[in-house]
Amino acid sequence: MTRRRWIADQVTGNRAALTGEHADHLVRVLRASVGQEFDVSANGIVRRARVVSIEGSRVEFELGDEVPLAPAPKPTLLLAVFKFDRMEWAIEKCTELGVARIVPVIARRTDVHLASAAEKRVERWRRIALQAAEQSRRPTPPEIATPMKLSGAVILPGSLRVVLSESEHQLHLRDAIESQPTDTGEDAILAVGPEGGWTAGELQQFQQAGWISASLGTTILRAETAAIAAVAITISALR
């Protein structure tokens, strides 16, 4: 049977712990008991672990052997801020697919109220990413960056940088990725626009910064659908 995996809140030597609501879920919902075995990611290293104590909102594990993990691409996703409920769905699913970093971007077509509230949502987005990472058995959740303006996002470094554009009709995303192969996907960056897409001026900013424009096809997708599809294609192409 596949063991449930947890990402430790605290790690000291060969001990790790879950705390607060994180521990409450394990104790009250899953009814964990002393002696039960799980996989625990401790500082990004997954190890076999045994519950040694349960005290209030704290579950402590004794860490054992390291669990080998297969290498995987770790792309960054620039995600323009859009309706929060749909954006949360995109963050959850892109985490499950394996994106390593998500950078929320304030785009020209981002609603002004969403833009002003975005920074206050970061901690919630990080909790969603943590839960999705554990559910999908990742060793770590993706980094969720503080929202930034597009002018700062377009200059992020990467050997492979692709922006999705509805106005691009020649180059598809997979072809764009495979035309400039990268060894690990560590520095690949994918940019997905808001509802309504990137403006012509924003696409010009990407072009001037050296990004490649690519398409997901002829259909017009919702922002969250585009993000999920694009991440799945990118990770598949980078493997």
CA–CA dist 159, 187 (Å, integer)? 6
**Residue-wise pLDDT tens digits, 105-130:** 999 999 999 999 999 999 999 999 99
Q: Does domain 5-66 have CATH number 3.40.630.30?
A: no
CATH number for region 76-238: 3.40.1280.10
- For the stretch 178-230, pLDDT in tens is 887 655 456 799 999 999 999 999 999 999 999 999 999 988 899 999 999 99
Give the gyration radius of the chain's Cα atoms.
20
Strands 45-54 and 37-42: antiparallel
Residue 209, Cβ density class (10 Å: 0-12 exposed, 13-18 middle, ≥19 buried): middle
Residue 52: is its pLDDT beyond 60?
Answer: yes
From edge to edge, which strands make up the β-sheet containing 58-66?
5-7, 37-42, 45-54, 58-66, 15-19, 10-12
Give the rounded percent of residues in the chain with a pLDDT score beyond 70: 97
Q: Are strands 160-164 and 148-149 parallel, antiparallel or unpaired?
A: unpaired
CA atoms 166, 171, 172, 174: torsion sign: negative
Domain ranges of the chain: 5-66, 76-238
* Number of residues written out for the chain: 239
Phi then psi for residue 121, to 5 deg, are -90, -5
What does the pLDDT look like over 56-84, one tens digit per residue? 889 999 999 999 988 888 899 999 999 99
Supply the pTM of this predicted model.
0.89
